[in-house]
Amino acid sequence: MKLSFVIPCYRSENTIETVVQEIRETVATRPGTDYEIVLVNDCSPDGVWQVIKKLAAADNKIKGICLAKNFGQHSALMAGYGHATGDYIISLDDDGQTPASESFKLVDKLEEGYDVVYGYYQHSAQHLFRRFGTWVNKKMAEAIIGQPKTLRTTSFFIMRKFIVDEIVRYPNPFAYISGLVFRATKNLGNVEVQHRRRLEGRSGYTLAGLIGLWINGFTAFSVKPLRAATFIGILCALLGFSSGLFVVYKKLMFPEVPVGYTSMLATLLFVGGMIMLLLGLIGEYVGRIYISINQSPQYVVRERTF
């Protein structure tokens, strides 16, 4: 059995060596297990690439990939998956929050017959803002891209090689790993692992970044938002028609009562706002089609160590 550990690296100059050493010590507890570590520098502004090159020069089990610009965590994972050769591929973070020491919990659970197994945290060490974002993401994923309601996803998970081979066939620039996994298999499992505080620094995801990630995932792998837009349009039309009937009725029954300027303005603003919102949603889909037709790259490799 060979394990591939794929780690996207960003602002982890001072933490990635600790994570790599923890992986080495963990694999050593299962004699006979082969492994490799694929480190993907997502154009980090610190010196993490120099650290990766040093690690790769000292250990032939480490592969280093440097992307030409910051493509984002999911594209960095896709770059790593494209160069992973293990029977099982484990994804984890570069900041020490995901417990590499518990990797064999994922392996053992996967060998029960699952295709993909996610580690989940009974007690999360994330801030309240990130926990709320995770909850919102879970609910939206259940409603839009078919995530099972009993499944708890995190950035610490393991996949069989055939799932990774299917994922890397995705050619478009808007990679969203969960969406790719859910469309490849429904044979998914969970296992509880410990969630630790990051070794240093803070998350690279801002509120705007999280919202952008959600939009990317839910428009790249589902047309349900467009269907929802259709229902919202029908609802607004019905409300507008009902309001019109009410105004006519009120004028006929109570001619002395003037037609309300405020209610008319509020209705126009509401309908106008909904139209702009739905046009923006449609524009998001059209824009993604345009970018995909132009064959915008999913990632570009500047340099590698192998």
pLDDT in tens, the chain (306 residues): 999 999 999 999 999 999 999 999 999 999 999 999 999 999 999 999 999 999 999 999 999 999 999 998 999 999 999 999 999 999 999 998 899 999 999 999 999 999 999 998 876 555 565 666 666 666 777 767 678 888 988 899 999 999 999 999 998 888 889 889 998 999 999 999 987 776 675 655 555 655 666 666 666 666 667 777 777 777 777 777 777 677 677 767 777 666 565 566 667 777 777 787 778 778 777 877 777 787 889 999 999 999
Q: How high is the pLDDT of residue 276?
A: 77
Q: How high is the pLDDT of residue 150?
A: 85
Q: How high is the pLDDT of residue 173?
A: 85
Tell me whether residue 29 is exposed, middle or buried, using C-beta atoms within 10 angstroms of its C-beta: 0 to 12, 13 to 18, 19 or more. Answer: exposed
Q: How high is the pLDDT of residue 223?
A: 65
Place of tokens 């990317």: 216
Can you spell out the DSSP letters for 139-194? HHHHHHT---TT----S-EEEEHHHHHHHTT--SS---HHHHHHHH-S-EEEEEE-
Measuring CA to CA, which residue among 261, 201, 188, 269 is closest to residue 236? 269
Phi-psi region of 295 (alpha: psi -120 to 50; beta: other; left: phi over 0): left
Q: How high is the pLDDT of residue 112?
A: 97
Q: How high is the pLDDT of residue 211?
A: 64
Hey, CA dihedral for 142, 190, 168, 16, is it positive or negative?
Answer: positive
Measuring CA to CA, which residue among 38, 35, 46, 37 is closest to residue 10? 46
CB half-sphere exposure, 96, CA atoms < 13 A: 18
